[in-house]
């Protein structure tokens, strides 16, 4: 299989897994800090098992191979998660969604500045279309946000973009230990605000499933798939989680989304799918990989 197609499929799977967050947060009856604590702990534990099996006696060597980029990925990913939570509390969800949709643009700028990677006009056009679709989904609620929350959402978007670019920078080096560290670090950051011992057995089981499947598996697929495609395209594929998340909640809880939400979701899905199927987008990414000297 073409490495770009493999990376694309892995990132689509990552977006699909991440999109189940809405389902879990509806089912789990704990406060947000406690949810983040257990999600990080279970997700980190899942990834730690993967790292141990993957490296088998070469753990320290694999950590050293990641360089400073590995530490930066772990810190940026963990802080972005905390920023996202607080942004959702301080501003309108619509604002967060639209700022989140700007991640591919921020990623394109950082990829050009750090990697010298220039994205195809087709993918940039698809990114613009996806951004427009997210704006349609958000609708008139965009105007009701607060500055502090919007600022946190922008910090989150910038950090996620930097994570994508840094993983792309370390092609050929497994960054799974870095995302494993980010999961544990997230749990550590929120620990003072959480009440982990007040969770009953039923919610703890759901938290374990949430942490391993939605968070741990999502991070694993992201870490493995990101080096195989251009940074901007990887970020564009990540936007899929918003319309997919809306679809899962609709199917599971019979909560029919508003008309604008449906229209915007269709626009986002169409933009991503068209970019995935465009032959010149694939060949451009492949040439970028060849120029960077990454293995085929």
Token pair belonging to 219: 């991070």
Using the structure block, give the residue that is written with the tokens 């007040």.
198
> Which of helix, strand or coil describes residue 239?
coil
Q: Between residues 79 and 247, which one has the greater pLDDT?
A: 79
Q: Which of 3, 14, 1 is nearest to 228 (CA)?
A: 3
pTM assigned to the model: 0.83
> Region 158-168: what's the mean pLDDT?
94
Gap between the Cα atoms of 264 and 287, Å rounded = 32
- In 3D space, the residue among 227, 118, 120 whose CA is nearest the CA of residue 166 turns out to be 227
Contact 179, 222 (CB under 8 A): yes
- Whether the CB-CB separation of 196 and 37 falls below 8 Å is answered with yes
**294 phi-psi bin (left φ>0, alpha ψ -120 to 50, beta other):** beta
Helix/strand number for the chain, H first, E second = 15, 0
Residue 269 DSSP symbol: H
pLDDT tens per residue, range 214-229? 999 999 999 999 999 8
Q: What percent of the chain clears pLDDT 90, i.e. is strictly above it?
A: 44
- Choose between 159 and 289: higher pLDDT: 159
pLDDT tens digit sequence for 111-129? 999 988 888 888 889 889 9
pLDDT digits (tens, 9 = 90+) for 133-161: 888 876 655 555 567 878 888 999 999 99
Quickly state the pLDDT bin for 84 (edges 50, 70, 90). confident
Q: How far apart are CA 198 and CA 196, in angstroms?
A: 6
Determine the Cα–Cα distance for residues 248 and 214; give it in Å rounded to an integer.
Answer: 13
């Amino acid at each position: 299989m073409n490495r770009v197609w493999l990376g694309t499929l892995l990132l689509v799977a990552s977006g699909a897994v991440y999109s189940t967050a809405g389902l879990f947060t509806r089912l789990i009856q704990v406060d947000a800090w406690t949810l983040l604590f257990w999600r990080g702990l279970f997700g980190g534990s899942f990834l730690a098992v993967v790292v141990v099996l993957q490296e088998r006696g070469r753990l320290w060597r694999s950590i050293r191979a990641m360089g400073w980029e590995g530490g930066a990925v772990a810190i940026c990913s963990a802080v972005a998660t905390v920023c996202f939570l607080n942004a959702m509390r301080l501003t309108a969800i619509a604002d967060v969604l639209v700022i989140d949709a700007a991640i591919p643009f921020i990623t394109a700028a950082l990829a050009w500045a750090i990697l010298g990677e220039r994205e195809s006009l087709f993918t940039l056009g698809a990114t613009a279309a996806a951004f427009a679709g997210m704006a349609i989904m958000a609708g008139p609620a965009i105007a009701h946000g607060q500055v502090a929350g919007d600022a946190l959402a922008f910090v989150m978007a910038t950090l996620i973009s930097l994570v994508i670019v840094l993983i792309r920078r370390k092609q050929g080096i497994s960054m799974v230990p870095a995302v494993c560290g980010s999961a544990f670090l997230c749990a550590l950051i929120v620990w003072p605000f959480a009440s982990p011992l007040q969770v009953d057995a039923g919610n703890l089981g759901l938290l374990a499933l949430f942490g391993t499947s939605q968070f741990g598996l999502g991070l694993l697929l992201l870490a493995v798939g990101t080096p195989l495609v251009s940074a901007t395209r990887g970020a564009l594929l990540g936007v899929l989680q918003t319309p997919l998340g809306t679809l899962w909640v609709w199917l599971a809880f019979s909560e029919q989304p508003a008309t604008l939400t449906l229209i915007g979701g269709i626009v986002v899905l169409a933009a991503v799918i068209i970019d995935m199927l465009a032959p010149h987008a694939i060949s451009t990414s492949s040439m970028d990989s060849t120029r960077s000297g990454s293995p085929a």
